[in-house]
Structure 1
Amino acid sequence: MGTPYNVLFLCTGNSARSLLAEAVLNREGHGRFRAYSAGAHPKDTPHPYTIDLLKSLGYDTSFARSKSWDEFAAPDAPELDFVFTVCDQAAAEPCPVWPGQPVTAHWGVTDPAAATGKESEKRLAFAEAYRMLFNRISVFVSLPITSLDRLALERRVQEIGTLSQAPESA
Structure 2
Amino acid sequence: MSEHPSDRVFNVLFLCTANSSRSIIAESILRKEGRGRFRSFSAGSQPRGTVNPFAIKVLERAEYPTDNLRSKSWLEFARSDAPVMDFVFTVCDDAAGESCPIWPGQPMTAHWGIEDPAAVNGTDLEKEAAFVTAQRYLKNRIVAFTNLPLSSIDKLSLHTQLREIGKADGATSPRSNIA
Q: Structure 1-normalised TM-score?
A: 0.94
Matched residues in 2 for 1:49 and 1:40: separation? 21
Distance in 2 separating the partners of 1:29 and 1:60: 12
Q: Deviations over 1:28-77 (max 9, x none)?
A: 01310001000010002100101111111222211210000000000001
3-state SS in 2 of match to 1:139:
helix
Q: Which residue is 1:168 aligned to?
A: none
Residue of structure 2 equivalent to 1:37: 42
Paired with 1:82 and 1:146, the residues of 2 have a C-alpha distance of 14
Question: 1:73 and 2:78 equivalent?
Answer: yes
Amino acid at match of 2:26: A
Partner of 1:96: 101
Cα distance in 2 for partners of 1:8, 1:38 equals 7
1:124 pairs with 2:129? yes
Moved over 6 A (4+): none
The CA RMSD measured in Å over matched residues stands at 1.0
For 1:63 and 1:109, locate their aligned partners in 2 and report how far apart those are by CA, in whole Å: 24
Quick one: distance in 1 between partners of 2:147 and 2:59? 22
Q: Between the two proteins, what is the percent identity of the paired residues?
A: 54
* Alignment gaps of 5+ in structure 2: 1-5, 171-179
Partners in 2 of 1:28 and 1:140 — Cα distance? 10
Distance in 1, matches of 2:26 and 2:126, equals 21
1:134 to 125, 132, 139: 139
TM-score, length of structure 2 as denominator length = 0.90
Q: Tell me, which stretches of 5 or more residues in structure 1 are unaligned?
A: 166-170
Secondary structure in 1 matching 2:70: coil
Residue 34 of structure 1 aligns to a residue whose secondary structure is strand
Q: Confirm whether residue 8 of structure 1 aligns to residue 13 of structure 2.
A: yes
- 1:23 CA displacement: 0.5
Question: Which region of structure 1 is more displaced relative to structure 2, 88-97 or 22-31?
Answer: 22-31
